[in-house]
Structure 1
Amino acid sequence: MQVFKKIGLGLAVFFASLSAYADYSWNFPEPVTPMALDTLHVHNKFMLITMAIFVVVLAIMIYSIFAHRKSKGYKAVADKAPSTAVEIFWTLVPFAILLLIDFVIMGIPAYHSVVMMEDTRDKATMVIKVTGSQWRWQYEYLDGDAKGIKFVSNLSTPKEQTDKGFEGKKDEQYLLEVDNHLVLPVGEKVRILMTATDVMHNWWVPQFGSSRLAVPGFLRETWVQVDKAGTYRGQCKELCGKGHGYMPVVVDALPLEEYKTWVAAKKEELAKADAGSDKEWTKDELVATGKGVYEKNCAVCHQVSGAGLPPAFPALTGSKIATSPIFGADGKYLKDGHLDRVLNGIRVMPGWKALLNDTEIAAVITYERNALGNSVGDVLQPAQVKAARQ
């Protein structure tokens, strides 16, 4: 009796916990793309087939256990083994049934889903290149009205909220918010080209139903067609280093007219940023701008203080790179000097020339040379970065 009371208590606690988590989903997130919807249908179909097989096999096992139990007087036949032909027959029958289920009932829908996932070009109206880096995403619109738009998407959660021991209130979208959202038009098929600059990453939004590795040195493809307006969040799904948990993906799906308005505004914003490369900046302006660029892009490796994490991520405070001249006597920037390292990268450090504009690169270098415990006193102008690119 005590056993039944304990079981009853356990069930009561279980169902009470279910009511406490009423919003818990037992299935996939709401699909918002054709690929995600097809994947959900295939998954549900497979689960039904698996459940049917499970119930049939379990029923046969239960029947056999109770119908042939010793207490009922059943005696095992030990003096006569079944013939080899019978054994082969009863081995091949379930094998044939499972083969039929796997290759026909389950195989055909799975094949259809795989073909759909790989069909990146048919009816695609635009192409976007996604580049993964430790630990951020770069988005580049390669055609259509948005051609030429390129930006970097970083985690926007304040660093103090990610520090161990933080006791304050965290943002609602803690670790799933970025400074620049990827924006897509609703109902348009978007072909996505994916690569990485350092290690493997994985651009993943659960409600899109697709997941594809971004591999350094290779271009891989997938596609997205968001059929419902909204904001969708995901993250890197490949273990890509110490900052893996700080590499979210945020996508805004907008109606076509709102998307066109965003494109126009974004182009104007980028044009203003590019125009800054022709301006003569003061040291204070560059240091102030560079501080923001550094903390957003560089501090994750070199630390906010510039102390780094040697030997993987060297310190900038007092470093030879940050205190040696940028340009040689001939006026050209020095090979393996400060500007060269920032533009082209080295080892695990990415080249920032594709990620930051001239003003941002000039500002962050000026900041690194005149802050973080350094006081070189010189200034790098955006126009000098622009010339170095050429």
Structure 2
Amino acid sequence: MLKILKYVAAAIAACVPAGAAFAAWELNMPVGVTELSREIHGLHMMVLWVCVLIAVVVFAVIIYSIIAFRRSKHPVPATFDHSTKVEVIWTVIPIAILVGMAIPAAETLIKIEDMRDSELTVKVTGYQWQWHYDYLDEGVSFFSRLDRDSDAARQLNSGIDPNTIDNYLLEVDNRFVVPVDTKVRVLLTSSDVAHAWWVPEFGMKKDAYPGFVNEIWFRADKPGVYRGQCAELCGYDHAFMPVVVEVKSKEEFSAWLQAQQANGTEAAQVADSQADNAAEAAVARAE
């Protein structure tokens, strides 16, 4: 007995590091930080508990029937073939359950597709293997790629331990920045193959197809950094196409937006100056 207890203790001790390693994993879907994500989580839990209750009732009836109506207790089998009352009951109850689940699910599905009253619209285009964000009414756009540290560590024979990289394969060089408590409408498309824009904490995932525009919306009510990935196999570097959304306060977002607009103006001025210089040089050579 003592020897068995030693083996059990050793097994538990071996599982402790594994538990720490899998601390970031969850068996259930996250509640999230948006109104939609919480509603979707609530629907998920409602359906889960309905299924659990049905399973308990069904297995209880099966176990009871096996014990109460075993051959040794009832050697002569029953002679009835059906019961109209029972058939009505087991038809009405499932219909009522399905209707009870369908009504709130339909309400949430309608809300998911309601893009009205959006306060910020951003066009997101998938490329192999990066994202392009275009703030349509703000004059700001940029590409978002896997950050350099993760990209260096993922290379074959890089000699870099991925465990030393913060947010390995889940960090980008330019984050998608949005204001808190703001309805953000995202227009999704692709320049090449099918991609999917997915942020678990927002409860949203939708495909991006070339030549077609999908749309989703979210309203994050908690500042922070939320990470996701491309969720559609899009080529050999599919796993290296993270999505990182940074939710800022409205004041911080306004300051960030002004800085981005200023940088864009400066870049445009530099490009115009370079074009003018090139034109002048061409004229000088022609003379």
TM-score, structure 2 normalization? 0.84
Q: Does 1:96 align with 2:105?
A: no
Is 1:270 equivalent to 2:264 in the alignment? yes
Tell me the equivalent position of 2:74: 75
* Partner Cα distance (1:31, 1:37) in 2: 6
Structure 2: gaps spanning 5 or more residues: 282-287
Indicate if the aligned counterparts of 2:30 and 2:41 stay in contact, CA closer than 8 A: no
Which residues of 2 match residues 36-185 of structure 1 at below 5 A?
A: 36-70=37-71, 73-78=72-77, 81-83=79-81, 85-86=82-83, 90-103=86-99, 105-121=100-116, 123-143=117-137, 147-158=138-149, 159-170=151-162, 171-185=165-179
Deviations 1:122-158 (A, max 9, x none): x211211111111111111112xxx110111111144
Q: Deviations 1:290-325 (Å, cap 9, x if unpaired)?
A: xxxxxxxxxxxxxxxxxxxxxxxxxxxxxxxxxxxx
CA, structure 1 residues 82+131, in 2 after alignment: closer, same or farther (shift >3 Å)?
same
Tell me what 1:388 maps to: none
| CA drift at 1:19 | 8.4
Q: Of the two structures, which has the highest relative contact order with CA contacts closer than 8 Å and spacing of 6 or more?
A: 2
What percent of counterpart residues are identical? 37
| Per-residue deviation, 1:92 | 4.7
| Cα distance change on mapping 1:382 and 1:246 into 2, 3 Å | farther
Q: Write the mapping of 1:215-364 to structure 2, written as runs, cut at 5 A.
A: 215-280=209-274
Number of the residue aligned with 1:29: 30
Secondary structure in 1 matching 2:215? strand
The answer to whether the 8 A contact 1:276-1:382 is kept is: no
The whole-number CA distance in structure 2 between the counterparts of 1:18 and 1:98 is 44
**Contact residue 187 and residue 216 of structure 2 kept, 8 A:** yes
**Counterpart of 2:192 in 1: which secondary structure?**
coil
Query: Whole-Å Cα distance in 2 between the matches of residues 63 and 18 of structure 1?
Result: 40
Three-state SS of the structure 2 residue aligned to 1:21 is: helix
* Cα deviation 1:149-182 (Å, max 9, x = unaligned): 0111111144331123444222121111111111
Cα deviations across residues 264-310 of structure 1 (Å, max 9, x unaligned)?
11111112222221344xxxxxxxxxxxxxxxxxxxxxxxxxxxxxx
One-letter code aligned to 1:197: S
Mark the CA change 1:15 to 1:30 in structure 2 (over 3 Å): closer, same or farther: farther
Contact persistence 2:127–2:190 (CA under 8 A) = yes
Structure 2 counterpart of 1:102, one-letter code: L
* SS of residue matched to 2:74: coil
Conserved 8 A contact 2:186-2:215: yes
CA-to-aligned-CA distance 1:54-80 (integer Å, 9 cap, x gap): 11111111222222334xx223545x6
What CA RMSD, in Å, does the superposition of the two structures yield over aligned residues? Answer: 2.9
State the distance in 2 between where 1:252 and 1:266 align: 15
Quick one: structure 1 residues 46 and 18, their matched pair in 2 at CA, closer, same or farther if it must change by over 3 Å?
farther
Q: Counting strand residues as a fraction of each chain, which structure ranks higher?
A: 2
Q: Are the equivalent residues in 1 in contact too, given 2:208–2:214 (CA < 8 A)?
A: yes
Q: Is the CA contact (8 Å cut-off) linking 1:278 and 1:382 kept in structure 2?
A: no
- Counterpart pick for 1:17 among 15, 18, 23: 15
Deviation at 1:383, TM superposition (A): 10
Residue 285 of structure 2 corresponds to: none
Deviates more, 1:160-169 or 1:88-97: 88-97
2:213 and 2:244 map into 1 onto residues whose CA distance is 22
> 1-side partners of 2:190 and 2:210: how far apart?
4
Task: Number of aligned residue pairs: give it.
Answer: 271
Distance 1:18 1:230, change over 3 A: same
Aligned residues of 1:141 and 1:148 also touching (Cα < 8 A): yes
CA shift for structure 1 position 194? 1.0
SS at match of 1:106: helix
Give the Å deviation of 1:230.
0.3
CA contact (8 A) 2:122 2:184 kept: yes
Structure 1: distance between partners of 2:124 and 2:191: 11
Indicate conservation of the 8 Å contact 1:31/1:207, yes or no. yes
